[in-house]
Amino acid sequence: MTSFSLSRRIPRVVMPLVWLLAVLPACSQPQPPTVPLYRALQVGDLDQIKRHLHHGSDINSPDGAGDYPRHVAARSGQVAITKALLDHGARLDVRDAKGRTALHLALAGGRAEVAALLFAAGAPETAQGLLFALVREGGIDRDALALLRRRGADLNALDETGQAPVHLAVAARRVALAKRLILAGADPSLPAADGQTPLTLALGSGDADLVRMLRQYGASAGSPGSGSEAGSAPQSGTGRP
């Protein structure tokens, strides 16, 4: 092959390579999103959400209902989406229209894996404060409760009203919740600041289901002047968890 023919072939080989090298980076970039951000969050479309994140969609502004992207992801237990949002600067301290953070929603919905991720990322709430808040709301499942305990929540601590979580559950006549707290380590005979025990509260409410459950787990009235177990328990309960 002559030097002349070789010189003619080189551009034919090199130019396509140059074009290919120029195009490849563009091909590796995510395409613009084709689904609105909050719709993608609702259906769990990670690909579309990554497109939004790459192309600069605002993830620190709420939608019309006051929810932020991390609230939607936490509520539905979307671990990968939550991680992607955190990796792109999603704030952990923002609250929805009802004043709840993403961590609060994850725990309330029993999304312990998402909640653990949010704790690890530096969520500002304390496990103790969240425990009281969730018990007042009336619900916390076993996994979320176990996570809060691992994060330092004390089941027998008293809140600003002088009540422990089990007192709050009994006062609200939530049998299943009170039982869950006791099984997790709450003292069924713990006196509140005013001397009331869970059992004296249950006896005062007239809820036979609560009284029966508490006695089953060894609860006693125990505090002088705070009530008595004298007499038979009510025959029918009206409260339900």
One domain for residues 157 and 54 = no
Domain of residue 101, CATH code: 1.25.40.20
**Please, what sign has the CA dihedral across residues 38, 42, 43, 49?**
positive
CA dihedral 113, 53, 88, 150 (to 10 degrees): -10
pLDDT of the residue at 92: 93
Domain stops at, among 99, 125, 151: 125
In Å, what is the CA distance from 110 to each residue of 25, 134, 147, 163? Answer: 41, 11, 10, 24
The Cα 227–Cα 196 span in angstroms is 8
The Cα 197–Cα 202 span in angstroms is 9
* Structure-token match 């969520």, residue found: 123
Question: What is the residue-wise DSSP string for 158-214?
Answer: --TTS--HHHHHHHTT-HHHHHHHHHHT--TT---TTS--HHHHHHHHT-HHHHHHH
Domain stops at, among 125, 154, 176: 125
* Full pLDDT tens readout for the chain, 241 residues: 555 454 555 556 455 555 545 544 445 677 999 999 999 999 999 999 999 999 999 999 999 999 999 999 999 999 999 999 999 999 999 999 999 999 999 999 999 999 999 999 999 999 999 999 999 999 899 999 999 999 999 999 999 999 999 999 999 999 999 999 999 999 999 999 999 999 999 999 999 999 999 999 999 887 444 344 433 333 333 333 3
One domain for residues 83 and 157 = no
One domain for residues 75 and 164 = no
One domain for residues 115 and 149 = no
The Cα 80–Cα 40 span in angstroms is 13
DSSP symbol at 224:
T
Domain stops at, among 87, 103, 125: 125
One domain for residues 146 and 118 = no
One domain for residues 235 and 187 = yes
Establish if 11 belongs to a structural domain: no
Establish if 177 belongs to a structural domain: yes
Angle (CA) 150 155 158, round 5°:
130
The pTM score is 0.79
The Cα 239–Cα 212 span in angstroms is 12
One domain for residues 104 and 160 = no
